[in-house]
């Protein structure tokens, strides 16, 4: 499996994690909770695809810029879902 496919799967899982957190945890989170839950959703999604996404998981934990970029993608797509497969159109 190539890196692009793995990233797409991790992002899709992270968006599902954010949706679940909004439904079952914090329906109206403040900025700090929203950031922390989105960060946790991205890291947990990569961990859920381990060992295939091990490199992605390591980058998320060690590179703050990479993590920040992933959080922005997940938070925008979680709030404004695109028609069809929005993530597929990004790559």
pLDDT score for 84? 46
**What is the pLDDT confidence band of residue 78, given thresholds at 50, 70 and 90?**
low
In a domain, 20, yes or no: yes
Q: What is the pLDDT of residues 40-68, one digit of tens each?
A: 999 999 999 999 999 999 999 999 999 99
Q: Is the pTM of this model over 0.95?
A: no
- 59 Cβ neighbours under 8 A, 6+ residues apart: 66, 67
Indicate whether 86 belongs to any domain.
no
Q: Is residue 37 part of a domain?
A: yes
DSSP string, 13-74: HHHHHHHHHHHHT-SS--HHHHHHHHHHHHHHHHHHTTTTTHHHHHHHHH-HHHHHHHHHHH
- List the structure tokens of 15: 């968006």
Does residue 28 fall inside a structural domain? Answer: yes
Q: How many domains does the chain have?
A: 1
User: Does residue 90 belong to any structural domain of this protein?
Assistant: no
Is residue 13, in this structure, part of any structural domain at all? yes
Q: What is the 3-state secondary structure (H, E, C) of 16-28?
A: HHHHHHHHHCCCC
Residue 9 has pLDDT above 90, yes or no: yes
| Amino acid 67: pLDDT | 94
For residue 66, what are the domain limits? 3-81
90 versus 12: which is more confidently predicted? 12
């Amino acid at each position: 499996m190539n890196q692009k496919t793995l990233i797409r799967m991790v992002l899709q899982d992270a968006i599902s994690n954010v949706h679940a957190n909004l439904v079952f945890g914090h329906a109206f989170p403040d900025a700090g909770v929203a950031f922390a839950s989105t960060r946790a959703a991205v890291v947990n999604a990569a961990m859920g695809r381990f060992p295939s996404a091990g490199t992605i998981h390591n980058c998320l934990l060690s590179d703050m810029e990479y993590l920040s970029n992933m959080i922005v993608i997940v938070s925008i797509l979680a709030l404004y879902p695109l028609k069809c497969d929005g993530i597929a159109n990004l790559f």
